Amino acid sequence: MNAPRIIVALDFSRAIDALRLVEKLDPSVCRLKVGKELFTAAGPQLIEKLMLQGFDIFLDLKFHDIPNTVASACKVASSLGVWMVNVHALGGRKMLMAARSAIPQGTTKLIAVTLLTSMDQDDIDDIGLQGKPQQIVERLARLTDSCGLDGVVCSALEAAHLRQLLGGDFCLVTPGIRPSDGQVDDQKRITTPQQAILNGANYLVIGRPITQAQDPLLICQQLNSEITGL
């Protein structure tokens, strides 16, 4: 079996709920994402528990602060032994470089969020950023690459363009994935797992279609078989 490309988003507010779900999963079929909600509730102890069960952890805390603070936070996050962490590319070059030097290449993967997909043109104008969302995403992805980070979080719809722009080694992590026969929830610009991989995504972040399924393991296996060999 290849290394899993599915990252299950553990969007829970209590450790017990996350652990109940994880009991049904297996590290051979997926990795896990712990974000601000669950980490605020359960902290490094939960991360340790999940890692002891053999899972790779993406710690999705989107650090954004002065370079020194982000570098220190990245260092601590990496020392937990997590597989991947992220920062905001909007923190700028100095912050990205500081994060990079805090996490040596080849250890914890370090990626950046470009523009939050919740932001539309009005939000962008409000804060005084120039350009259309796509242009800003492209600019921030190039900046991320030039600072030596491993990749970005992006919509699967942007993945094909970024893959072409930034080459094969740049890591693209894409949320907004829904199985072709699945429920859409509150996601708007969705893509099927197959299409996301064909667009050049390396990893797929998937939450509710797995966390709310009767049989989460089976869903992971089905999703994996849809993308195997692509």
In the DSSP assignment, the letter for residue 67 is H
Residue 125 binds to ligand C5P (criterion: CB under 6 A): no
What's the rounded Cα separation, in Å, for the pair 164 and 48? 37
Cα 42 to chain centroid, rounded: 19
Residue 220 binds to ligand C5P (criterion: CB under 6 A): no
What's the rounded Cα separation, in Å, for the pair 132 and 104? 33
Least distance in angstroms from the C-beta of 15 to ligand C5P: 16
Exposure letters 75-97 (e unless 16+ CB within 10 A, then b)? eebbeeebbbbbbbbbbeeebbb
Choosing from 62, 94, 109, 132, the catalytic residue is 62
Residue 126 binds to ligand C5P (criterion: CB under 6 A): no
Q: Which is nearer to ligand C5P, 73 or 206 (CB)?
A: 206
Active site residue 109: no
* Angle at the Cα of 22 from the Cα atoms of 209 and 85, rounded to 5 degrees: 85
Q: Which is nearer to ligand C5P, 67 or 207 (CB)?
A: 207
Residues 29-88 that bind ligand C5P (CB under 6 A): 35
Residue 206 binds to ligand C5P (criterion: CB under 6 A): yes
Residues engaged in binding ligand C5P (CB under 6 A): 9, 11, 35, 117, 153, 175-176, 185, 187, 205-208
